[in-house]
Amino acid sequence: MYLTDKAVSKRWLIFFILVLFGMTACDETYTVGVDFIQESAIEIDTVLIDQIDFISIDPYLGQLTYSALGSFQDPLFGQLISTLYFKPSINASNTDTVLDDMSFELKLHIMQNEIYGDTSSTAVFDVYRIQNNWHGPSFRQSTEVNLELERIGGFNDTDIDTNGNVHVALGGSWDAFYREIFNIDDDSTRLTRYAEEDFGLAIVPKNTTNRIRFATLSTSRLLVIGQEDTSSYGMQDWAYKVERRDVDPIPNRMLLHNTFEKVIKIDIKNIGKQLPNNNFVRAELVLEEDTTRANTSLSEHEQRLNVPGFRMSEGNFIDLAYQFGFSDENIINGYPSRGRFRFDITRLLNDQIYNNNPIKDSYIYPYVNAGYIGSNILYSKEASSDKRPRLIIHSIKPEVQR
């Protein structure tokens, strides 16, 4: 039923006053707007949500701000193995030459304080050549990357210097090939052969590694080291790939990762039709996190990286992976508060009820961390009513609006 024009104006006046003064409840048992409207005039209704599905996504993992490398057996979220791929740039014009006594070294920049896993352990890595072509801007989790058997370098993360760099000597067949291509006189021939015949390198964690580190390839360099001077070249391309071996399902829980392998699809359109009172001033979607299990599942020296919040995207998207990873359009943020993530969906429901603008497909996923790996455990629709996903409606009683 639609309100009269007078009722609509009065309703919106109350709504804007509430928004202006930030009257947002921190708990469903509290009310909003009591400074302006008597507490007895506020109705609070809860709608439990059943229309929740998981959908699988093939995320983009190329040329992000950070790239994960390492492995960790997370007791709650399962084992993760992350391999880093990169391709150094090559001399674009014939101004330098690699002499016989020169050597190659990767100066890999690693974030010093960001560790996912066992902080008391050591991460050990090997470097291999890649056998097939790949492209960072279009690199997805499903992208196939094949490695050669020859180990051309290796390092461990205890070798990181005070500037956050680890220096990795590169040799073997890659040394011989890169040296040959680098010294080609014709610029066009050199760049063409490098593009067509070299596919870059992979940093692979050893089985003994039990923590994940994060590198910034945009600030990493390939060093060509001579007796008198050193030349530095940036990275032409990079990506990483996560292999996740899930643990057994946890009853009444949902596991979500900010790498977007799976996201939540929720039917808010039909939820809006179940509202007990259309004359609402605020509608909040609430997801509850199992903070107890998250906080008690790690050992003394283990840690996870924090996921700052959740996002909701509403719309008919052509490429879901791009929307979740890179777009800032059609976004509603859900910030944590007392173990809950709250989304203000008042505008969406108003548009559907009063402007005849039906809500489109709606998706919920952990906040983008630009290459960091984080996870959350949420209560599912099978959990108890005080924990499961729900819609909290704050309404003005009909007699107050006359």
Residue 395 · residue 43 · CB < 8 Å = yes
Residue 204 · residue 86 · CB < 8 Å = no
Neighbours of 133 (CB within 10 A): 11
On whether both 150 and 272 belong to a single domain, the answer is no
For 267-388, strand residue ranges (E) read: 280-288, 302-303, 310-314, 331-337, 340-344, 362-366, 375-379
In a domain, 181, yes or no: yes
The pLDDT of residue 23 is 40
In a domain, 252, yes or no: no
The pLDDT of residue 306 is 85
On whether both 169 and 310 belong to a single domain, the answer is no
User: What CA–CA distance (Å, rounded) separates 163 from 352?
Assistant: 54
On whether both 230 and 192 belong to a single domain, the answer is yes
Token look-up 């890169």 returns: 178
In a domain, 250, yes or no: no
On whether both 96 and 230 belong to a single domain, the answer is yes
On whether both 375 and 293 belong to a single domain, the answer is yes
On whether both 125 and 232 belong to a single domain, the answer is yes
- How do beta strands 310-314 and 331-337 pair? antiparallel
Residue type (1 letter), 58: D
| Full domain range(s) for residue 387 | 5-57+259-401
Could you say which of 245, 274, 303 is where a domain stops?
245
pLDDT in tens, the chain (402 residues): 323 333 333 443 343 334 433 444 445 544 343 344 455 677 888 889 988 999 999 999 999 999 999 999 999 999 999 999 999 999 877 777 888 888 999 999 999 889 999 999 999 999 999 999 999 999 999 999 999 999 999 999 999 999 999 999 999 999 999 999 999 989 899 999 999 999 999 999 998 899 999 999 999 999 999 888 889 999 999 999 999 987 788 999 999 999 998 899 998 888 777 776 667 888 999 999 999 999 999 999 999 998 888 999 999 999 999 999 999 888 999 988 888 999 999 999 888 888 888 889 999 999 887 899 999 999 999 999 999 999 998 888 766 555
The pLDDT of residue 278 is 66
The pLDDT of residue 39 is 57
Residues 6 or more apart whose CB falls under 8 angstroms from that of 324 comprise: 57, 59, 260, 263, 311, 313, 363, 365, 368
User: What CA–CA distance (Å, rounded) separates 174 from 367?
Assistant: 38
On whether both 234 and 356 belong to a single domain, the answer is no
The pLDDT of residue 300 is 93
- Beta-ladder partners of 243: 81
Residue 160 · residue 112 · CB < 8 Å = yes
On whether both 89 and 44 belong to a single domain, the answer is no
- Residue 171 phi/psi, 5-degree rounding, is -140, -145
Could you say which of 245, 269, 296 is where a domain stops?
245
Neighbours of 158 (CB within 10 A): 9
Whole-prediction pTM value? 0.87
In a domain, 149, yes or no: yes
User: What CA–CA distance (Å, rounded) separates 185 from 95?
Assistant: 9
Residue 134 · residue 199 · CB < 8 Å = yes
Terminal Cα distance for the chain, rounded: 16
The pLDDT of residue 199 is 97
The pLDDT of residue 101 is 86
Domain count of the fold of the chain: 2
Q: What is the DSSP string of 352-372?
A: HHHS------EEEEEPP-BTB
For 100-146, strand residue ranges (E) read: 103-109, 116-118, 124-130
